Amino acid sequence: MPTRRGLAAAALLPFAARAQEPAFPARPIAMTVGFAPGGGTDILARLLAARLVEEFGQPVAVENRTGGGGTIAVVATARSRPDGHAVTMGTVSNNVQVPLAMRAPPFDPLRDVTPLVQVAAVPMVVTVPTASPAQDLAGLVALAKASPGRLNFASNGVGTSQHLAAELFMLATGTRMVHVPYRGSGQVVIDLAAGVVDVNFDTLSSVLPHIRAGRLRGLAVTTAARSDQLPGVPTVMESGVPGYDLNVWYMLFGPAGMPEAVVQGWAGAVNQALADPAFRARLLEAGFEAAGGTPAAAAALVRAEIARYGEVIRRADIRLD
């Protein structure tokens, strides 16, 4: 039987172990991105990583791990040590939509990762090359209906936000276009400007520089309200498609099992960065609307979006083997 002294020593062991653990962050931080450089997720991750160096006092490196509709990056983070030094800049696409479309998803979006904080949100823009005969959304619908299956649309992969946005558009307008999946928005906008693909439903942050430069034409934004960055571009609803309202959110995720103090440390650092007016202005200029909030609010958003997009994927009959 243990002695009273032995019991006391055993009771102190967890406190001693915690005392020996280095305070977070104790070393450089890795932030993975599931899409290729140049897209909206990559742009936001690099902007935030540079700002978080000031908050953490440690380097924050962005690592692009493409494939699987962005899920490879999430899996890499899910398999990391839950000490806060490995996170992913996730999106509604690779953390919710793509896993829902997979027959055998490589991770569970509720159990295998920890939502830390929503970073930003952004509308999508229906975009065509400037050489396209479609001058507005009605013109695009007319082209698609005139030759069903002739037009093609790009996305970041099967089941991603870009793919679902186009599928919902086709369901709502009675049109049919061919899906051309890519690994990220960087190459998509290059091929779109060159006329390799005909139309793209992509994040404002990905296409805004190309619209401003005259390489692409924005036909409509996917949210209920117009974007301050493109005030002259109407919404999809204004253009004759009632009830069409979509955006893309970005959220930091860590592995499951992270200590609460580390979870709150991440949320606090990001909220502090987003409270900086100069940083918020940089995000807005790049096309992002700063978010922030608590880990609990982030987790609630993930649960709500799982319910929402599960129904969308069922209606569009999207399946990933």
Q: What is the pLDDT of residues 271-319, one digit of tens each?
A: 999 999 999 999 999 889 999 999 999 999 999 999 988 988 888 888 8
Whether residues 134 and 203 fall in one domain: yes
Whether residues 216 and 187 fall in one domain: yes
**How far is the C-alpha of 50 from the C-alpha of 276, rounded, in Å?**
13
6 in a structural domain: no
Confidence tier at 22 by pLDDT (50, 70, 90): low
Its domain, for residue 265, covers 28-120+248-316
Given a cut of 80, is residue 133 above it in pLDDT? yes
Overall average pLDDT of the 152-158 stretch: 91
How far apart, in Å, are the Cα atoms of 167 and each of 32, 138, 172, 312? 28, 17, 9, 9
Listed range (71-85, 89-103, 123-137, 155-169) with the worst mean pLDDT: 155-169
Asked if residues 40 and 248 have their Cβ atoms less than 8 Å apart, the reply is yes
CATH for 197: 3.40.190.10
DSSP-assigned beta bridge partners for residue 31:
62, 87
154 in a structural domain: yes
Given a cut of 50, is residue 165 above it in pLDDT? yes
Task: Please name which of 181, 129, 131, 191 lies closest in space to residue 155, comparing C-alpha atoms.
Answer: 181
Whether residues 137 and 212 fall in one domain: yes
CATH for 111: 3.40.190.150
**How far is the C-alpha of 48 from the C-alpha of 37, rounded, in Å?**
15
243 in a structural domain: no
Whether residues 41 and 116 fall in one domain: yes
264 in a structural domain: yes
Task: Please name which of 172, 1, 205 lies closest in space to residue 91, comparing C-alpha atoms.
Answer: 205
Domain end point (choices 202, 221, 240): 221
Whether residues 268 and 302 fall in one domain: yes
Provide the whole-model pTM.
0.81
Tell whether omega for the bond before 133 is within 30 degrees of 0, i.e. cis. Answer: no
Whether residues 269 and 297 fall in one domain: yes
63 in a structural domain: yes
CB atoms within 10 A of CB 150: 12
**How far is the C-alpha of 78 from the C-alpha of 82, rounded, in Å?**
8
